[in-house]
Structure 1
Amino acid sequence: MDKWGVYMEINQLLKQGFSKSKTAEKLGISRSTLYRYIKRQPKDMGEWTESLLTRQKKLDPNKTLILNWLRKHPDMSASQVSDWLVEKYPSLNVGESTVRSYVRALRKDYDIPKETTKRSYEAVPEGPMGHQVQIDFGQAYYEKARGGHIKLYFIAFVLSHSRYKYMYWLDRHFTTKDVIYAHELAFKWFEGVPDELVYDQDNLIVVSENGGDLILTEEFQSYKETMKLNLHVCRKADPESKGKIENVVGFIKKNFGKHRVFQSLDKWNEQAIDWLNRTGNARLHNTIKKRPADVFSLEKEHLRPIPNKEIVPYNVNTSIARSIRKDNTIRYLSNRYSLPLGSFHKYDEVFLTLTDEQMLIICCPDGEILAKHKLSIEKGKLVQDRTHTRDRTKGIDAFLESVSRCFKNEALAGTYLSQLRENYPRYIRDQLQMVSKVAKATDKDILEQALEECVKRKLFSATDISDVVDYIKRQRLIPDTTMNQEDGNLPSSSKRHHWVMTTGSQKRDMNQYYSILEGELS
């Protein structure tokens, strides 16, 4: 409905007895707009609406350019249109709301509906200044200046409090050395180091979870100790733990990278820095209602200083394409490496990358990591990840009950396993599997003694009970028969440990030997 039609509808509804609030609600306009309309006389309203038809809008000189963008990229946001305009015309002074209204009008007049996708995130409480930075990776295909497309990879950083961002791009998969180099660049950009670094479970940083106890890659472990970093590694695509960086990755893809033409990697990273200064860190943030650059000017005072040292980039081999076999494996250097069940029907091929730590990383075409294996130096071997075959349908409660039955004292075992569940809620299945493996391979008496010691000493971890079992096995001694039975004392050189256990050899009945000998003589 045009403005004159709205004006007439307002007057009709008011004459029918509708209140101003109800009239605005029925017509879908704000009350301030309604008040502006009812103050005008019909003659003034007619002259105003007629002037709108001939009045030039501020963005009309750029109309053709904006229309070309919208027609070529229907999913383009008004925010990205605003950023592209400022990038192309740095002297252009126009508000984002003006661009949004203009783009909305063009979409309606030229029938260019916007293509949208939705993703939900859960709110995360705000942390103190300088406390946390969230880090994640992203990748996407982009058009090349000379034709064709190229897949680019990036790592993004965002300070949780100020939302101040940084990103670094490569035209190949990252290695651990690249990740360390990107960290050095980010800390230099932030002018300090935060108290906590939040990561996804990326193979470049984490080798194994070990039931919640993190084992880092050798290079990153060394870097962590040198920089005295405090790490928190969360589940993949976990918005509860790293929702801010999930949003930043999407913002970078949709606002900076989308529809941008790739010329060279150096040029691309230069454009990324310009975008951060112009848009990523300079635009009003919708959640905190402040500009990240303004908040960062205060937050950087709370960051830990970093030592000055030379930053040197690194190189890595490119990825290798492989077809998936029917048994959900791929062949590499005469060995087979497992993939998750169903990969054969889901993907035509996968891409392999060998890291400096001799880890074989297997990714699907869109860059998602499907599997990671330690490279085997043998030939003809099947290297299989147990998670590619284990049954995930069994409930945790049933699994906990099943493991507790491996112990003599099921009640005590149930209490111990419940405490494991409380300590490792996200890794309880891994913890139970480790305990079950230890229980099935251990003598019942030793297992029971280990359980009692773990409860007594409050050692609630699968690795702890495994270590205690090993310790008891090493301490098993035969009782000293020379002990003075009267005073019950032992010489200091032969005192027994409080975990000592007695044992004896198994004795067969002699008739078994007689029957064997008789058989040989006959």
Structure 2
Amino acid sequence: MLYLKIQDLHKRKFKVAQIAKELKISRPTVYKYLEMTFEEAKAYTEQPLGRSKKLDRYKDWILAWLEEYPHLSAAQIHDWLLERYPDLTVGGSTLRSYVKEVREFYQIKKKVMVRQYEAIPEQPMGKQLQVDWGETKQKTTNRKEIKLYFIAFVLAHSRQKYTEWQTRPFTTRDAIRCHENAFQFYGGRTEEIVYDQDHLITVSENAGELLLTAEFQSYVNERKFIVHLCRRADPESKGMIENVVKYIKGNFADSRVFSDIEDWNHRSLQWLKRTGNHQVHQTTKKRPAEVFLVEKQHLKPVSSLLSYESTNNQSITRSVSKDNTIRYKSNRYSVPLGTYQTNAENLVLIEVTGKEPPTLVVRKDAESEIIAEHSISLEKGKLIQNRNHTRDRSKGVEEFKRRLISFFKDQTQALAFFNEISQRYPRYRRDQFAIIHQVVQKYPALIDTVLAKCMREKLYSANDFRDMAQHIHTLPHDSVKEIKSFYTHTAKHSQIKTSTRSLNAYTSILGGRP
């Protein structure tokens, strides 16, 4: 049938590329069948897929899977084969070619899984700003090639755009600087800013909850805007800024010659004024610059100076990574588990002693005790780890939970709290319990009050437990006693009944007449 279809289309003056596209086959396959007679094609098809191949013995499985699940990729089929035949040794490219031939021979078209979308209403003025990063390769005036990096902003209502370029990858500090420039460009900020889960602003997960980097969290706290993070690998959830990134690449950057970064950024701003924000938007059918004149009045004003910008010189400090290590001369050195804290600076001081062998000394600050000591390695790319710094794995999670419950007076309530955490964060139970254990060690006198309040407010998270303990700790002493009395002793005197007196008795006390 394939041979007859190819010959029929060829007689109808279809070109080889058109035949291949129509029948979903490769052009070499079209050439091969055009050169055959009907008898040669018949003989060829009597031995499926041509000459004998290594994967022929698995063809029935592959064909059955493709017929039942036409959307399967070659990589999925490879995995399924390895699941059934662990000793199978075949390269990925070989299997892709074989699956492609099977699809062509049996005319099994790969189905594309289409995601359904629904239109969303327009964002109100001043509500949302979307941000994303991109990169391009540009020809330079001396006929070389350079990679450029940019950050793009777009207001969700007016579609007013702003972009800034640099010749090196962005750091968190660069992102913050560009945010400030964007706020100055717009004349204010929005209530909410939408981001992808970029490493510049997020630390991924902590006990199942998404966290921002310490530096960016400080910035958010300073500027007080709401951060909305899209799901990972889901560009459609922020399609507006994705289109802006494509627009910048395809309209401004395409075929433009680079001379220096200052000139490039100047021309970029000119392009925004001339084209990017001037041309009529295809969705709104309005010019972004004209709509922005109205939206600008709804933006929240920002100060011109960030208070946390005047931080001390950090030349003798090191940042603690979320895996509780620091870097020194191309190696990683461990610090005690728990040194890294969320929403904190996570900076330590390091010192190299002159004794032999040289030793790396780590402190929280100049006056504090030593938290870690390591002999400096002369190698590179190594992890130097003190076993005392690692997690205690001698006891299971359940034992850890029982040990934590024993610290609370109301162990029944504690058990219910920990069971709820285990149900909500099954993959992060140990991490959640570790955070609570830190609170127990730091605020032992408050943990029963915190537990009662968390149960009352239905706050079933270790991070909420920690934040509540920190909040209560900052309250005046009398306020803490009042909270304890309210949450832990509300029913203590519930059996006491007050006596009642007649109205005449009160009149007599007040000096009147009955």
User: Above 0.5 in TM-score?
Assistant: no
Greater relative contact order (CA < 8 Å, ≥ 6 in sequence):
1
Report the TM range for the smaller structure's normalisation. 0.3 to 0.5
Q: TM-score, normalised by structure 2?
A: 0.44
TM-score, with structure 1 as normaliser: 0.44
